[in-house]
């Protein structure tokens, strides 16, 4: 027997088991509503003040109830939401396989330019076959909605893990080579991600790392602006300088810059914004990783690693010679009362 609870957003009653536990306390319609807002960084658990929620018609056309079928995939529950639509957990009936189903907002299927771009990017994603890249099984348009059927990763994204502070430097150094290996493969296939960040990096329960959403940075901008000409694609703080200064002249080295940001964040728990401390100045991190981070974060792309494989090899060489004791997470630093510690030297990355 399912428990009926009241939504913290709209006050309406709904069955608690329908929505994934990440959205506990929010009804399916309100979860769907967040996918229509421009600000997707806000959690659906936060109180909505502005913009006003869409009409009931807009919400119900996007939300798919459990049991709904889309091209042989049966909806099970909501997994998450973003600026273009909602991701569901589903079951591919013919193969009895659990999958992730990304369903775009129905308003996008009416845009001929978006549909053309969607088909092109989906084909590029489906052509990628690598153990560290989320596989794409199918895509198309069903009942006026663009959809992508993807590999289901039973785990969490890197952002969720960072919020829980579960990663040690040793764990970070095991993750980064896998990411670089996936990017090296994708770049050799002519595919640039353009939006490498913790939210797009998944870890399953066995510790395997997978990158998701290849090509969706282009689609997100097409959805928001109706055109792709000269648009900035990516996420602030993770974007290479050229993604802002010359968005039409971006190549695979933008992903390497983003990997530098991710590596720094994994090692320090912070972002390399403005004047920042080197990783080794913040804890038990090998000083050689400072140079790996700084090279990946070079403003001039010619000065960065030219291949993701180069960065992978450097990180692997460092990790092979770090004693386990030095890989342990550093304890919180608490200054003695009345004697605040002087800040160590800082470094700057020009963006």
Q: Answer yes or no: are the C-beta atoms of 234 and 243 closer than 8 Å.
A: yes
In the block, which residue shows the tokens 């079951």?
91
Nearest in space to 191 (alpha carbons), one of 239, 238, 126: 126
Active site residue 56: no
Q: Answer yes or no: are the C-beta atoms of 118 and 181 closer than 8 Å.
A: no
CA distance 98 to 113: 31
Phi and psi of 127, rounded to 5°?
Answer: -75, -15
Q: Residues near 163 by Cβ (< 8 Å), separated by ≥ 6?
A: none
CA distance 151 to 73: 12
CA distance 45 to 65: 20
**Catalytic residue (choose from 181, 195, 213, 255):** 195
CA distance 177 to 193: 17
Q: Answer yes or no: are the C-beta atoms of 285 and 267 closer than 8 Å.
A: yes
CA 48 from centroid of its chain's CA atoms: 23
SS3 320: helix
Nearest in space to 209 (alpha carbons), one of 306, 140, 295, 131: 131
Phi and psi of 201, rounded to 5°?
Answer: -120, 120
- Contacts within 8 Å (CB) and 24+ apart, 321-325: 322/169, 322/170, 322/173, 322/286, 324/170
Q: Which residues are catalytic?
A: 195
């Amino acid at each position: 027997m399912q428990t009926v609870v009241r939504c913290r957003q709209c006050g309406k009653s709904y069955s608690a088991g329908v929505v994934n536990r990440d959205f506990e306390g929010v009804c399916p319609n309100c979860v769907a509503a967040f996918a229509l807002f421009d600000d997707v960084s806000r959690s659906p658990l936060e109180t909505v003040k502005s913009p006003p929620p869409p009409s009931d018609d807009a919400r119900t056309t996007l939300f798919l109830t459990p049991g709904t079928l889309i091209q042989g995939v049966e909806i099970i529950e909501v997994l998450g939401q973003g600026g273009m639509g909602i991701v569901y957990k589903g079951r591919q009936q013919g193969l009895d396989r659990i999958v992730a189903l990304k369903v775009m907002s129905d308003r996008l299927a009416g845009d001929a330019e978006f549909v053309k771009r969607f088909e092109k990017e989906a084909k590029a994603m489906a052509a990628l076959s690598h153990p560290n890249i989320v596989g794409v099984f199918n895509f198309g348009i069903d009942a006026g909605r663009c959809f992508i059927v993807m590999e289901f990763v039973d785990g969490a994204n890197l952002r969720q893990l960072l919020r829980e502070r579960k990663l040690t430097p040793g764990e970070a150094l095991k993750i980064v080579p896998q990411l670089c290996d996936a990017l090296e493969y994708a770049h050799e296939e002519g595919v640039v991600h353009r939006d490498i960040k913790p939210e797009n990096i998944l870890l399953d329960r066995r510790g395997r790392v997978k990158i998701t959403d290849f090509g969706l940075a282009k689609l997100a901008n097409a959805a928001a602006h109706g055109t792709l000409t000269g648009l900035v694609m990516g996420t602030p703080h993770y974007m290479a300088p050229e993604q802002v200064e010359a968005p039409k002249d971006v190549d695979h080295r933008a992903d390497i810059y983003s990997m530098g940001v991710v590596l720094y964040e994994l090692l320090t728990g912070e972002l390399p914004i403005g004047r920042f401390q080197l990783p080794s100045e913040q804890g038990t991190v090998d000083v050689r990783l400072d140079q790996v981070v700084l090279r990946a974060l070079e403003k001039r792309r010619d000065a960065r690693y030219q291949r993701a494989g180069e960065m992978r090899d450097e990180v692997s060489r460092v990790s092979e010679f770090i004693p386990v004791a030095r890989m342990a997470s550093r304890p919180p630093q608490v200054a003695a009362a009345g004697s605040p510690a002087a800040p160590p030297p800082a470094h700057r990355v020009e963006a």
